[in-house]
Amino acid sequence: MRKYIETAKVLFKAQLVYHFDILLTVVFTISKILLAHVLWGAIFENQDTVSGFTYPSMLSYYIISSFITQLDQSAGTGGQIAAEIRSGRFSKYIVKPMSIFWYFTAQTAGVSAFLLSFNLLAALAWIFIFRVDFTITVDIAVILSALILILLGLLFMMQMNYYIGILAFKFLDTSVFSMIKDNVVRFVTGSLIPLALLPAGIVEIMRLFPFYYVSYLPSMLLIGKNESEALAGIIILACWNAAFGILNAATYKNLKMKYDGVGI
């Protein structure tokens, strides 16, 4: 376990090297909140609620879901895995006495922890300075459920992007898989077509996919909504994680045989 904590620490430290990047990260977070503040402020000017959301709850949802989305850095890691396989640099991980999946997960966690700490500081400062009426549940069980969902969701995204990354053993170029994944995620989470426009049956089917529970549900839980879905979400995400765990282990074992380690 200590080797993975140290890996996360090393990646955290690596992020701290670029001071300008840190500044930009903070500025980006603040500007996003500012934009949401202005945009939703205009929408809520003449009405108290929109689709059951009050202005503070909408802003809180936006801040929380942006956070969770930003915490997921696994797509970059998946791309890095594919690039390292293509260039032959992946060999350096193969010869290390550790689990390659958990190494990359720890690496991603290090980057996420960096973003979490600086973004959190920036957001808290913003909320405090502008006295944003931040809506958050006080129910400990719900907060705990949301945190479990966030962790399971990040792990699931890591597993999926790791899977796409190791496909480079066979296909070399995995960008098409990433593109398909991005489109599926957009569709299932409703960012391509609002879920409300789809037949109820299809929406129910989509709830069996993990993406609904990765950022949407935990954000809703934290602002005090959809509590009844928490348990189902945890079970579904745990099942998807288990399935991808098995798939990744089998795929790695099978595809690693095709690795030539070209370039060394």
Six token digits for residue 213: 């529970």
Task: Count interface residues toward other proteins (CB under 8 A).
Answer: 24
Six token digits for residue 220: 């809703």
Instruction: Report the residue from 6, 133, 173, 182 that binds other proteins according to the rule CB under 8 A.
Output: 6
For the chain, the distance separating the N- and C-terminal CA atoms, rounded to the nearest angstrom, is: 30
Residue 258's SS3 state is: coil
- Helix/strand/coil percent split, the chain, to 5: 75, 0, 20
When asked if residue 261 is in the footprint of other proteins (CB under 8 A), the reply is yes
Element (H, E) at 136: none
Binding mask 218-257 vs other proteins (x if CB under 8 A, - otherwise)? ---------------------------------------x
Q: How far is the CB of 34 from other proteins (least distance, A)?
A: 31
Give residues 136-195 in contact with other proteins (rule: CB under 8 A).
none
Q: CB-based burial of residue 11 (10 Å sphere; 0-12 exposed, 13-18 middle, 19+ buried)?
A: buried
Element (H, E) at 49: strand 49-50
Rounded distance between C-alpha atoms, residue 261 and residue 197, angstroms = 48
Q: How far is the CB of 244 from other proteins (least distance, A)?
A: 21
When asked if residue 5 is in the footprint of other proteins (CB under 8 A), the reply is yes
Give residues 60-89 in contact with other proteins (rule: CB under 8 A).
88-89
When asked if residue 19 is in the footprint of other proteins (CB under 8 A), the reply is no
Q: How far is the CB of 15 from other proteins (least distance, A)?
A: 9
- The answer to whether the CB of 157 falls within 8 A of the CB of 74 is yes
- The answer to whether the CB of 181 falls within 8 A of the CB of 160 is yes
Q: Which is nearer to other proteins, 6 or 139 (CB)?
A: 6
Give residues 100-129 in contact with other proteins (rule: CB under 8 A).
none
Q: Point out which residues bind other proteins (CB under 8 A).
A: 2-3, 5-7, 10, 13-14, 17-18, 88-89, 91-92, 94-98, 257, 259-261, 264
